[in-house]
Amino acid sequence: MQRKMKFLLIGLAASSLLAGCSSIDLNPNPNEGGVYTAADFNNPNSPLSQKSIYFDFDSYAVPAEAQAMVEAHAVYLSTHPTATVVLEGNTDERGGREYNLALGQKRSDAVKNRLQLLGVPAERLESVSFGKEKPRALGKDEASYQENRRVDIQYRTK
């Protein structure tokens, strides 16, 4: 009985330590102490030059490979208080209109939530859905479908 209690306590201690770890880096400035500027939007080596987040089929989970880009946009928004964004959720053409509008909204809300976790105030973020109404690619193949499953980050300034 005492041995079981010892293992239980060790397990609880390990769980407590792991619970403190986060898979999201909450460092508000992953740009190594620098600040992103408007010029970074045109620099192909900057994550700010990327303004679309692509999703898997029937998913609204923000992919891990988009994390650096989302963090860069959060840093830019944090250091440019007049900038706001509209997050435009899109889907491929498969599925009904209502389903795709809902999925596009879930995608844009997921990006909005991620930006909020990184410190961007909600009032500077708007999430909308276009569903399948604004395709980027018109083909009927998987490559075209992948191109259309996205959230586009559109900047607005006051």
In a domain, 92, yes or no: yes
Instruction: Count up the domains in the chain and report the number.
Output: 1
The answer to the question of residue 25 being in a domain is no
- Is residue 85 classed exposed, middle or buried when 0-12, 13-18 and 19+ CB atoms within 10 A define those classes? buried
Is there a domain that residue 144 lies in? yes
Q: Assign 1 a pLDDT band (cuts: 50, 70, 90).
A: low
Q: Which CATH number goes with the domain that contains 135?
A: 3.30.1330.60
Chain segment 119-150, per-residue pLDDT in tens: 999 999 999 999 999 999 999 999 999 999 99
pLDDT digits (tens, 9 = 90+) for 11-46: 544 444 444 444 444 444 445 555 899 999 999 999
What is the reported pTM? 0.78
Average pLDDT over residues 53-64: 98
